[in-house]
Amino acid sequence: MPQVRLPPGPRGHFIAGNLVEFSEDPLGFLTRCAREYGDVVRLGKRNYLLNHPDLIERVLVNGDGNFVKLAGVGQGRRHKGGFPEAMMNSEGEDWLRKRRLVQPAFHRKHVAACGDTVVSLTEQRLRTWRPGEARDVHSDVSALALDIVSRFLFHTPIDDEARHVAAAVDAVMRHTDSPLRPPIWVPTPTNLRLRRALGRLNVLLETLVRRYREQPAERTDLLALLLSSPVPLSEGQLRDELATMIMSGHETTADALVWAWYLLAQHPDAEARLGSELDTVLGDRLPGAEDLPRLRYTEAVVKEAMRLYSPAWITSREAVRDCELGGFHVPSGTMLAVSQWVTHRDARYFDAPESFRPERWLSEDAQRMHRYVYFPFGGGPRFCIGSALAMMETVLITACVARRFRLELAPGCVVRPRPALALQPLGVRLIPRPRARGGQEGEVRHVAGA
Ligand code: HEM
């Protein structure tokens, strides 16, 4: 019998293992483990952390079919968390069928067509920003990203009801942030809050679908595709798909934007270079999707922010049969975590990994980089379906903000990342100051879907 070699890792408590250390400071704990134990770390009996791009690629791309996102789901079992019918929470054939159904809604041409909407809605919101007045930019930009994604997905704004979506996102974040997570039917305060918030979200989505059905039109957006599915979807399936798309489609984008502005506020050189690119490419006009290929530094700012503060900070797969990774034995049933937070800050792949240097993305080294040292949108078949939309939005919104304002950190604000379902920036308060050039109001083009 061949010798079974298990990876090294922290010993942990004899009952709780490493749970307490992980819950107290997940980002710090994973980073320490990776730096101390290497590319494959055993965090628990059935939990490994993978820190090498080849291994991350093997697990996410899953060419040999050894790894799944949700083991058991789709074989008579449903996903145990919320929204079990959504594509995101499905597996195997069921997942593939759902992914093929919704994929056309994310076609490049639909993303590009949404560019003017992104810019118009951003400009509307920026007109409410008062120079010199400290703002909680996260709640501002969450509402903006929600407005954008709802118009993209079903050509309908969610405005009056936005608070229900915000409450649901907040409840999910608090739930995923808490170290001990009893099943949702246990009446803890966090669970009760989550159930109430999801209940209201469901009512909102039902109303939205009803209104949409009452206005027949030639549409190719996500809701139109779902409603014309060859195998009709149940109300529950519709609701789950919309809820997961709305939630994953705006909170992550908002987090990425706030992290980018937080970093810009602390790096005046980068902010000045960004301003000068905007002056050169745009002059006094507003940006549009057609400008994206020339907004290279703006894109680099966003990419660098997503390197340091990737909204998706960890993702996992489960081994469904015994296999080997990096010379170590992986028993079937092992959870394999890969962490953007850890790998994106690995000095083997990035010079001065803790420094904010957007220009690194403009160098030739960036072209030669292993595809899996930087994976803010995941990889393989379950790659983020909204990545093109997210990049377009984050670059255009950053351009709109930076052509009008320089952002300063408000005195005394204490910022901390909350590693929940996404990596949320808590406590960011920014003061907008008018920019010398490009601060004039530009022409607002039409608002599609408004
Ligand atoms: C900066 C913004 C975003 C980030 C960082 C992000 C990140 C990710 C990551 C890492 C995954 C893969 C998870 C895994 O492998 O387990 C994912 C999947 C997904 N994302 Fe995003 N995302 C963003 C924006 C969006 C947007 C705008 C939408 C939709 C409007 C969206 C919808 C989805 C869906 C539906 C999946 C599941 C795909 C599947 O299971 O096949 N995301 N996202």
The overall average pLDDT reported for the chain is 89
- Which of 194-198, 350-354, 377-381 comes out lowest in average pLDDT? 194-198
Per-residue pLDDT at 84: 85
pLDDT (average), residues 161-171: 72
**Residue 157, CA distances (Å) to 33, 77, 289 in order:** 44, 35, 21
pLDDT band (50, 70, 90) for residue 19? confident
What is the 187 CA–ligand 1 centroid distance (Å)? 30
Contact 369, 344 (CB under 8 A): no
pLDDT band (50, 70, 90) for residue 440? very low
What is the 248 CA–ligand 1 centroid distance (Å)? 6
The number of the ligand 1 atom at minimal distance from the alpha carbon of 255 is 1
Selected residue with higher pLDDT from 216 and 427: 427
- Phi, psi (degrees; rounded to nearest 5) at 442: -90, 175
pLDDT (average), residues 371-390: 97
Per-residue pLDDT at 164: 73
Give the tens place of pLDDT for each residue, 221-239: 999 999 989 889 998 899 8
> Which residue, chain included where needed, has tokens 């195997």?
92
pLDDT (average), residues 391-401: 98
Per-residue pLDDT at 432: 97
CA torsion, ordered 300, 301, 305, 310, to nearest 10 deg: -40
Looking at domain 92-312+344-434, its CATH architecture is Orthogonal Bundle (1.10)
What is the 77 CA–ligand 1 centroid distance (Å)? 23
Query: Best mutation site among 57, 246, 248 for ligand 1, i.e. most ligand atoms within 8 A of its Cβ?
Result: 248
Give the tens place of pLDDT for each residue, 319-330: 999 999 999 999
What is the 431 CA–ligand 1 centroid distance (Å)? 30
Contact 287, 295 (CB under 8 A): yes
CB crowding 312-324: b at 16 or more within 10 Å, else e? bbbbbbbbeeebe
Q: List every span in the chain annotated with CATH 1.10.630.10.
A: 92-312+344-434
Ligand 1 binding residues, C-beta < 6 A = 69, 87-88, 99, 149, 245, 248-249, 252-253, 256, 311-312, 315, 376-378, 382, 384-386, 389-390
pLDDT band (50, 70, 90) for residue 66? very high
What is the 311 CA–ligand 1 centroid distance (Å)? 10
Give the tens place of pLDDT for each residue, 96-127: 999 999 999 999 999 999 999 999 999 999 99
pLDDT (average), residues 416-443: 82
What is the pTM (predicted TM-score) of this model?
Answer: 0.92
Nearest CA to ligand 1 atom 32: 386
Per-residue pLDDT at 182: 66
Which tokens sit at 384? 């983020």
Nearest CA to ligand 1 atom 43: 384
Give the tens place of pLDDT for each residue, 278-317: 999 999 999 999 999 999 999 999 999 999 999 999 999 9
pLDDT at 442 over 60: no
Q: Is 413 annotated as a binding residue?
A: no
Which of 56, 81, 135 has the alpha carbon at shortest distance from 378? 56
pLDDT at 448 over 70: no
Contact 15, 24 (CB under 8 A): no
Per-residue pLDDT at 80: 65
Per-residue pLDDT at 443: 41
What is the 384 CA–ligand 1 centroid distance (Å)? 4
The number of the ligand 1 atom at minimal distance from the alpha carbon of 95 is 41
